[in-house]
Amino acid sequence: MTTLDQSTGKNRYLAAPRRDDFTLDQDWASYSPAEHDRWDRLFARAQTVLQGRACDEFQSALQHLQLSEGGIPDMAKLSARLRPLTGWQVVPVAELVPDEVFFDHLANRRFPAGAFIRPESEMDYLQEPDIFHDVFGHVPLLANPVYADFMEAYGKGGQRAMALGQLKNLARLYWYTIEFGLMKSADGLRIFGAGILSSATESVFALEDPSPNRITFDLERVMRTDYIIDDFQQTYFVIDSFEKLLEDSYRDFGDLYARLAKADDIAADAVITDDHVVSRGSFAYFKAKNSAASH
Ligand code: HBI
Ligand code: FE
């Protein structure tokens, strides 16, 4: 056991020197065999669950980026494959970076990805985005030109939203698409959100469990909708395509922000009159959790 294995229980990058833009050296050689093996187990489990569940764009991007190779990806090598496709690169960071730093990276087609991998004790769920959540969940779709444009636009939108004090509304758009979005396909609903793709249990829940609402995406509706961060989502929004998502979002948010400032928030579990409901949730999973919690 090298010293690094002992430190895999916590995020050793927190102690690493970092640049002003919060990036640091991934130091790929420092990953232990145990960490490479953990990536391979997470990857294999996700791939099994995602057959017939992830959107085609994700599956083809995995091939393009040769992410099926074993072991933790070297972000520099991954960026060398990604850059020619859409101009995006993946830069290593220790943990969540300040919002303005995050948006600046996205606006310049750099995706900041956690360099640490989750400890064995958090294989199924962790709060902080580790390299599996970021590189397996978020990075592949950056090889899709339309999604890549959307992510850059989100970065630029984030910079503007911060200036207008409207970040809360914009973060919801990110949450219900980039993190937890579903998409219509000829064969039924498919997953594109990174938070779902990187979670074997939520991949099944989001598509097949009767508990959550599934509602057709509407930009203003999503930007009004609250969300929870420590459990499965109570509502998933469904887009028609990345093209439609980009088209819906590629507009001046000025008038939208003015309306949102006066509109009430919508609860994470609510269905409202104008919703095009794909499936209304039974909330059985959430009720069971609450009643278990109250005993
Ligand atoms: N930093 N590294 C990293 N990754 C994120 O997804 C991230 C972040 N900082 C801020 C942030 N996300 C969100 O608060 C913004 O989407 C608003
Ligand atoms: Fe994420």
Q: Helix-strand-coil percent breakdown of the chain, rounded to 5? A: 55, 10, 35
Verify whether ligand 1 is closer than 6 Å to residue 24 (CB atom). no
Residue 91 Cα to ligand 1 midpoint, Å, equals: 14
Give per-residue burial for 146-184: e unless 16+ CB within 10 Å, then b: bbbbbbbebbebbebbeeeebbebbbbbbbbbbbbbbbb
State the ligand closest to the CA atom of 114. 1
The confidence score (pLDDT) of residue 132 equals 97
Sequence-separated (6 or more) residues with CB below 8 Å from residue 97: 22, 105, 112
* Domains of the chain, start order: 3-293 (1.10.800.10)
Please determine, for residue 4, whether its predicted confidence score (pLDDT) is greater than 70. Answer: no
Q: Whose CA is nearest to atom 1 of ligand 1?
A: 96
Each residue's pLDDT tens digit, 106-155: 999 999 999 999 999 999 888 899 999 999 999 999 999 999 999 999 99
State the ligand closest to the CA atom of 102. 1
As beta bridge partners, residue 191 has 54, 182
Please report, for the chain, how many H helices and E strands are present, in that order: 14, 7
The confidence score (pLDDT) of residue 11 equals 87
Other Cβ atoms within 10 Å of 220 Cβ, number: 15
Residue 45 Cα to ligand 1 midpoint, Å, equals: 26
Q: Record the pTM.
A: 0.95
Each residue's pLDDT tens digit, 179-209: 999 999 999 999 999 999 999 999 999 999 9
Residue 179 Cα to ligand 2 midpoint, Å, equals: 6
Structure tokens at 289: 């959790």
Residue 69 Cα to ligand 1 midpoint, Å, equals: 27
Helix spans in the chain (H): 3-7, 33-50, 56-64, 75-86, 99-107, 131, 145-164, 167-174, 194-197, 200-208, 219-224, 242-249, 254-262, 284-294
